[in-house]
Structure 1
C-alpha cells in the first residue's frame, strides 16, 4: 500500500509540474503550449493519478461521505478541473487566463494540503 501512496504522490507532483509549465507556456504564447506531447502527456499522467486514487480509496475502504477530507479533495478536484478548462481552453483574454490559472494553482495547493493533513480545514480551525 505504501508503494501505491508513493505512486499517487508522484503522479500528483508530475501533474502540478505539468500544470505550472503549461500555464507559463500559455501566458508566454510559447509554441510548446501547442506541442503534441504537451496535449497528450497530462492526460496520461492524470489517468494514472486517478487510477492510483481509486486504488487507494478501494484498498483503504474509504467512503468520501465518512471522510470529510476526502470529500473536500474530490470537490476541490472538480473546481481545479473547471478552472483549468477556463484557463487553457475557454478564456480568451490573457488576464482571464492568468486569473483562472492562478486560482487553479491555489486550488491545487489546497488539495495537496488536505492530502497531507487529512483535514478539510488544513487544521486551521
Structure 2
C-alpha cells in the first residue's frame, strides 16, 4: 500500500493549521490577549508542528527527495529555519512590540514562500518571475 498520498494530505492539513495558528497567535499578541500565553495553545501548536515535521520527514524518505540533493526541498528546509527563527523573535525573544510585529510579518511572508516552493517545486517559489 502506498501511504504517500495520505502522508501528503496530513502534511498539507498540518501546514494549513500551523500557518493559520501562527496568524491567530500574532493577532492575539497584538491584542495583548491572555490567550496568547496559554499553555494549552502552545501545546496544541507544538503537537501540530511535530506531526507536520514527522509527515515531512517520512515523505522525504519515501520519495527519495532529500534536502541538499533536491534544490526545492533544500529551499523549503532553509525557509523553515528562517520561519522558526522569525517565530522565536516574534513570540519569545523580540524586545519590543514593533520588533515582534516585524518578525511576525516577515515569518508570514516566509511561510508564503515555503508554500509557493512546494506548489511550484522550484526553489525560487513566488520569486520565479523576479529571479531568472
TM bin (shorter chain): over 0.9
Moved over 6 A (4+): none
* 1:65 Cα deviation from its structure 2 partner: 2.2
Aligned match of 1:121 in 117, 120, 124? 124
- How big is the alpha-carbon RMSD for the aligned residues of Structure 1 and Structure 2? 0.9
CA–CA distance in structure 2, aligned partners of residues 89 and 116 of structure 1: 30
Corresponding residue pairs, total? 125
- Tell whether 2:120 aligns with 1:109: no
Pairwise mapping of residues 64-79 of structure 1 onto structure 2 (< 5 A)? 64-79=67-82
Structure 1 residue ranges without an equivalent (≥5) = none
Partner of 1:7: 10
Structure 2 residue ranges without an equivalent (≥5) = none
Pairwise mapping of residues 1-125 of structure 1 onto structure 2 (< 5 A)? 1-122=4-125, 123-124=128-129, 125=132
Deviations 1:25-79 (CA, angstroms, capped at 9, x unpaired): 0111001101121111111000000000001001101122221000000001000
CA contact (8 A) 1:27 1:97 kept: no
